[in-house]
Copies of this chain bind each other. A is one copy, B any other.
Amino acid sequence: MTNTTLKLLAQQLQLSISTVSRALKDHPDISASTKAKVHALAQSLDYEPNAYAIQLRTQSSKILGVIVPAISNLFYDSFIAAVEEESRNNGYAVMILQSSHNPENELSNLKIFRQNRVSGVFACLSSSSENLEVYQKMNEREIPVVFFDIVPKDNRFTKVRMADERCAIMAAENIIKRNAKKVLAIFGDEVLSITQKRKSAFQKFMQDFAPKIHCSYAHANSSLHAEELMKKFADKKNKLDTVFCMTDEILIGVMKTIQELQLKIPSDIGVISISNGFIPNLYYPHISYVETSGYELGKLAFIQMMANMKGGKTLTELTVDAKFVEGGSM
């Protein structure tokens, strides 16, 4: 079965292609009666405009690209949900690709985006990828790039992210409030700027406001790793009384050890994490967490994208604030 085209409609109605085209988009030049006829036929033959022809002609696709490290991540999920929602409202489709934390995949994804002439891309850096020239090239080709969450230090780009320092400080505040004595703070992938920001803010705050609290710092980039770390620190009877988990993955690993050692929360040990809330609420008592909303970040990112596409270059770094959610773990 052949697709319905403008030409076909035109033939059947004894009209020119241009008239049909204009009728379909309510151009004031076209009379109401012909508009009606055209719409009717288009309906019954369920005409779908060929997006490829349109893009070829107009040189602008209605597709936005999103690169995330992984979609099996509640934070990115909600980010994508927000972007998709806004996109739908603005007539855009969203193409989602995952880098799987692999710079190589990131590159090949970018290539797919270029080939499909996306009109903008939201990018979250995969671990150690710092080949920013590719992104720079996209910007030069007038394809706006909005980095989110894991953003480059480079300030030639538009960036949106969580208020990482505030997150870390909020967590620190609540640890102090608990009268903690010995704290284990586990952060994520060391090479990421997001990790560095959170860690240094946390560290500084702890030193300044609670210098007598003993803090151990560690890094983990997987649940398994976090589990082992926790085992090491909790085992040697060093009276660890509080643990801070920077990510859901870390929290999961830490909880495995806590469950295994049958530690009581919050009496034996206090737990606090940074999360969107899904995982923390699975445990009993619920884990207290500093909430970071991928959803809000997505909304913000979309606004930035639109601004970039419409107007000039708004090269800014915007942040979304966080809030503390009390579970029963502190």
Minimum Cβ distance to chain B for residue A138 (Å): 10
Decide: B46 and A50 in contact? CB cutoff 8 A: no
How far apart are the CA atoms of A56 and B93 in the complex, in Å?
A: 19
Q: A272-312 interface mask toward B, CB cutoff 8 Å, 1 = contact, 0 = none?
A: 00000001001110000000000000000000000000000
Q: Say yes or no: A71-B80 contact (C-beta < 8 A), given A95-B95, A259-B284.
A: yes
Q: Which of A24-32, A109-117, A318-326 contacts the other chain?
A: A109-117
What is the interface size of chain A, counting residues whose CB is below 8 A from a CB of the partner? 50
Minimum Cβ distance to chain B for residue A44 (Å): 13
Decide: B115 and A63 in contact? CB cutoff 8 A: no
Decide: A48 and B115 in contact? CB cutoff 8 A: yes
Asked whether any CB of chain B lies closer than 8 Å to the CB of A18, the reply is no
Asked whether any CB of chain B lies closer than 8 Å to the CB of A142, the reply is yes
Minimum Cβ distance to chain B for residue A192 (Å): 22
Q: Say yes or no: A63-B1 contact (C-beta < 8 A), given A46-B137, A53-B56.
A: no
Best-surrounded residue of A49, A77, A96 (most CB of chain B within 10 A): A96
Would you list which residues of chain A between 1 and 22 have a CB under 8 Å from chain B?
A: 1, 3
Decide: A72 and B78 in contact? CB cutoff 8 A: yes
Would you list which residues of chain A between 107 and 153 have a CB under 8 Å from chain B?
A: 108, 111-112, 114-117, 137, 140-142
Per assembly, the copies of the chain total: 2
How far apart are the CA atoms of A255 and B283 in the complex, in Å?
A: 9
Asked whether any CB of chain B lies closer than 8 Å to the CB of A37, the reply is no
For A283, list chain B residues within 8 Å (CB).
Answer: 282
Asked whether any CB of chain B lies closer than 8 Å to the CB of A51, the reply is yes
For A95, list chain B residues within 8 Å (CB).
Answer: 93, 95-96
Asked whether any CB of chain B lies closer than 8 Å to the CB of A212, the reply is no
Which residue of B53, B252, B284 contacts A260 across the interface (Cβ within 8 Å)? B284
Best-surrounded residue of A108, A140, A141 (most CB of chain B within 10 A): A141
For A114, list chain B residues within 8 Å (CB).
Answer: 48
Q: Say yes or no: A52-B49 contact (C-beta < 8 A), given A112-B93, A259-B284.
A: no
Q: Hey, which bits of chain A sit against chain B, CB under 8 A?
A: 1, 3, 46, 48-53, 55-56, 61, 63, 70-72, 74, 77-78, 80-81, 84, 88, 93-98, 105, 108, 111-112, 114-117, 137, 140-142, 252, 255-256, 259-260, 279, 282-284
